[in-house]
Chain A
Amino acid sequence: AQSVAQPEDQVNVAEGNPLTVKCTYSVSGNPYLFWYVQYPNRGLQFLLKYITGDNLVKGSYGFEAEFNKSQTSFHLKKPSALVSDSALYFCAVETGSTLGRLYFGRGTQLTVWP
C-alpha cells in the first residue's frame, strides 16, 4: 500500500531563513512524488514533482525538493523564506500501479513570521 508521512504538523521560521518541510514515503514500485500548497479555503496548487532523472527538482516560487531513494524521503526546501510562503503544504505519492491516484500526507502548516 502507498503511504506518505509528514512528521511535522507545524513548521515555524523567520523570514529570510531557510525552510525545510519533511516528507517520507512508502510505496511498492517506483514513486512519483509531488508537493502541493493550499491556502485557506482554496484548492491545491502544484509546486513541483519528481518522476525520474535528477534527484534535485526545482519548482514554483523558489521551492525545491530532493529525492532520496535510500531514505525514502522527498523534503521540500527553500533557501530564504517569505511571509507569503505561509500556507499548508502537502506531499503526495503516486506509482505506476496507481497512476492517476495521488495519496497525500496529512499536511504541514508552515508559518513564516516577519
Chain B
Amino acid sequence: GAVVSQHPSRVICKSGTSVKIECRSLDFQATTMFWYRQFPKQSLMLMATSNEGSKATYEQGVEKDKFLINHASLTLSTLTVTSAHPEDSSFYICSARDFRRDPEKLFFGSGTQLSVL
C-alpha cells in the first residue's frame, strides 16, 4: 500500500538552532501534504497544509515564520522549526493523500519526536 516516510524519527537539539523534518511519499505523488503536532496525551493538531509549488496554508495561531514549510516536489515536503525553543518540543507527524488509490484516506508518516534542550 501507499507509504509515507518521515525522517528523522527523533531529534534532540539545542535551544536557538533550527531543525528540518522531511516527509516523503514513497510510491505516489502527493500534491498536498499535511503537518500535525501532537503533545503528550493530547490530540493531533493540524498545523498547516503543504501545497506543491505554492505557499503553505497555516492554521490559525501557527506562526508561519517559526514553522517553515517547503513542498518543492510531488514527493517531498519539509518542515523546518526555526530558532527552536523548549516549548517547541513535541511529536510532529506528516500525512498525505494518494488521490489515485483512495482520495478519502490519509496516510501518515511515523512521526518525529523533537526535544529542544
Contacts and interface: CB of A to CB of B under 8 A. Distances in A.
Interface of A: 9, 32, 34, 36, 41-46, 49, 51, 90, 100-107
Most A CB atoms within 10 A — which of B32, B93, B95, B106? B106
B43 A107 contact: yes
Contacts, number: 56
22 contacts: A9-B41, A34-B106, A36-B108, A41-B113, A42-B110, A42-B111, A43-B4, A43-B108, A43-B109, A44-B44, A49-B104, A90-B44, A100-B32, A100-B34, A100-B49, A100-B97, A101-B34, A104-B43, A104-B45, A106-B41, A106-B42, A107-B41
A78 to B, nearest CB: 20
Interface of B is mostly: strand
B105 interface: yes
B108 A32 contact: no
